[in-house]
């Protein structure tokens, strides 16, 4: 699932996939070529947050299906 953020250097767009970011992939700003990557120290924090987000999405989808 792709997401995007504004580049802190130039305001351009950095399109990234959070799961690929966790695997160590690097993403590049379309404007200035600044790179987005995770430090080794951040991987466990981001992985935990992504796991919680995925669980929330799953529950939200289940609620929608059961109420619809």
> How do the pLDDT tens digits run along the chain, 68 residues long?
789 999 999 999 999 998 899 999 999 999 999 999 999 999 999 899 989 998 999 999 888 888 86
pLDDT of residue 4: 94
What is the model's pTM? 0.68
Query: Is the Cβ–Cβ distance between 37 and 43 less than 8 Å?
Result: no
pLDDT of residue 68: 64
Strand partners, 14: 5
What φ, ψ does residue 63 adopt, rounded to 5°? -65, -45
Query: Is the Cβ–Cβ distance between 25 and 18 less than 8 Å?
Result: no
Give domain limits for the chain: 2-67
pLDDT of residue 66: 85
Query: Is the Cβ–Cβ distance between 20 and 11 less than 8 Å?
Result: no
pLDDT of residue 29: 96
Owner of token pair 């929330």: 56
pLDDT of residue 23: 92
């Amino acid at each position: 699932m792709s997401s995007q953020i504004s580049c802190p250097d130039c305001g351009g767009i950095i399109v990234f996939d959070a799961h690929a970011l966790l695997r160590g992939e690097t993403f590049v700003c379309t404007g200035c070529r600044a790179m987005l990557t995770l430090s080794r120290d951040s991987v466990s924090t981001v992985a935990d947050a992504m796991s919680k987000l995925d669980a929330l999405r799953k529950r939200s989808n289940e609620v929608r299906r059961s109420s619809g």
